[in-house]
Amino acid sequence: MIFIDLFSDPICPWCFIGKRRVEAALASRPEVAVEINWHTYQLNPMMPRAGMSQQEYLDLKFGNPDNAKRLYKKISTVGEQVGITFKFSKIQRAPNTLTAHRLIRYAKSFGAEMQSQIAENLFNAYFVDGSDISDIEILVKLGSLAGIPEKNLFVHLQGEKDLEAVKLEDMEARQLGVQGVPFYILDRQYAISGAQEPEAFHPLFDMIAAQNALINPRT
């Protein structure tokens, strides 16, 4: 088993692309068993809890709107290559992602695969549907689509008992040296930064698999 700790933010388009690329890497190594654990990293930790309009956010981040257009065009081109059709024009709100991260964290109690499905739902909701993924009702719907009971999830997200734990996880990521996402740590030893092509993962998958075979030889 190879464990991948994946630091990500659901409003990060490169994280969506990175998810597709690591999935492609895993598909080419079907004999390798992998568990992916998703971890909090906020691209905009100072974002107001209520978020802000997308236009205001783009003005603050890029200044000139042409800068945003050029970047989004590049991202859209790369997205098409991995089967993602980004619809940036649909995005009306730049959300604070703390509650979305709480949903991802809660999903872990249903298994690592549920976390990955929730991440997928969040990416699609934000980048394809243009949904406000800070809205609890939308988050409950996304969780329900993945199989998480609505009532339990609504009660959980309405409260804030894990809010400090999510903030702490974000802080710990920065203390580890994570400065951007996606960021992967394989078997708590090897790091890969950025939405790398699938081929970037293959040598590490093969090396870790070989190491595990030496430690736990088949009888």
Residue 108 pLDDT exceeds 70 = yes
Token match 């890497």: residue? 25
Give the max Cα distance, the chain.
63
Yes or no: say if 9 and 123 are a contact pair by the CB < 8 Å rule. no
- Domain ranges across the chain: 2-215
Q: Is the pLDDT of residue 219 over 50?
A: no
Instruction: Show the tokens assigned to 72.
Output: 């989004």
The percentage of the chain sitting over the pLDDT mark of 70, rounded to a whole number, equals 99
Confidence (pTM): 0.96
d(CA 127, CA 83): 13
Domain 2-215: CATH architecture, name and number where available: 3-Layer(aba) Sandwich (3.40)
Average pLDDT over residues 57-63: 92
pLDDT in tens, 121-143: 999 999 999 999 999 999 999 99
192 close to 132: Cβ distance less than 8 angstroms: no
Residue ranges with strand state E in 65-211:
93-94, 183-186, 190-193
Count the Cβ atoms, other than its own, within 10 Å of residue 56. 12
Which pLDDT score, from 0 to 100, does residue 207 have? 93
Asked if the model's pLDDT at residue 200 lies above 90, the reply is yes
Sign of CA dihedral 168, 195, 77, 73: positive
Write the pLDDT tens digit of every residue in 77-105: 999 999 999 999 999 999 999 999 999 99
137-190 residue pLDDT tens: 999 999 999 999 999 999 999 999 899 999 999 999 999 999 999 999 999 999
d(C-alpha 95, C-alpha 131), whole Å: 10
**CA 24 – CA 75 distance, rounded (Å):** 18
In DSSP terms, which residues pair with 190 in a beta bridge?
186
